[in-house]
Each structure stands twice: as C-alpha cells, then as structure tokens.
Structure 1
Amino acid sequence: MSEINPKALRGVTMKMEFETGRCIKTIEDVLSLEKGASITLDNKAGVIPITLNRSPFGKGVILRKDGFMYVQITERNR
C-alpha cells in the first residue's frame, strides 16, 4: 500500500464539534422556559470535549474576545 500524500487532503472538509455542557429537564421545565431564562449545564470544570467527524479529538476551554467566542485547545488526542 502506498502512503497518503497530506497535500492531497488539504481541501477535505471535516466537522468539528465543541460540547459546552448538558442538562436534563422535564417537559414541564422546558415548556415553562421563557426568553431570557438561564439553564445550568453539567460542565463545572469549564473544559469542553472536542470531536472531529464524531471522533474524539481533544479538549479545550472557551475564550471570549471582542464579542467573539473561541476555543483554545488544551489537550489533543494522538
């Protein structure tokens, strides 16, 4: 088998996802939500999992600057 040339893959797109947290709510809770409501998430550490095409990629932390949200990678799976 021949090796894959990394240059040949440069234009391939991949889906990255960043999970900020989860919560469990009853239907009653969801139906009573109004504009401006706050929801507590289970992620107390602030470290978020990162996936690449639904496969674990690493972990990161959320940063904010000039009205934008960024993710700084703190760990990367090899």
Structure 2
Amino acid sequence: FHLGTFSPGSIPKDQESLNQHRNNTLSFLYFMGSAAISVLLFCLKENRVELSEAYSKADSLFKDAAEQSGLAHEARKTRV
C-alpha cells in the first residue's frame, strides 16, 4: 500500500512513524480480511452449505484452473 492511502497527508517522516504507519496499515488489512472471512462463513451457514463438500469442489476447481493456465507448472518450477 502506498503511504497515505488510509490517512492522506500523514506521510511518515522517520523510522518510528514509518513503523507505526506499517503497523496501522497491517492491522487494518488483517481486520478487513477477518471481517470478510466472517461474512463468508455467515453466508455459508445461512445457506446450509456443507463446508467439506464446498471446500473439495472449490479446491478441485482451483487446481484445474491452475493446471490449465500453466500457473501450477510455474509454481512447481520455483519450489525449492
């Protein structure tokens, strides 16, 4: 994220304020990510989706798409 994205005009001027900015930005991102996961789980529960079945189907679709796009091959090449 660019400096000042969430608080325009407050660009850090030293290492301490940069660290505080980084901490605030990461905290915000973690908060938004956990909120999105919470909403997703709520929607799945409300629609009585069987999670293990949904996971298996999504995982299979992802792997198929990764293979077809060539990304899986690239990922295997870069593994150490």
- Structure-1-length-normalised TM-score: 0.20
User: Whose Rg is larger?
Assistant: 2
Greater share of residues in helix: 2
Greater share of residues in strand: 1
Task: Compare relative contact order (CA 8 Å, sep 6+) and give the higher one, 1 or 2.
Answer: 1
- Structure-2-length-normalised TM-score: 0.20
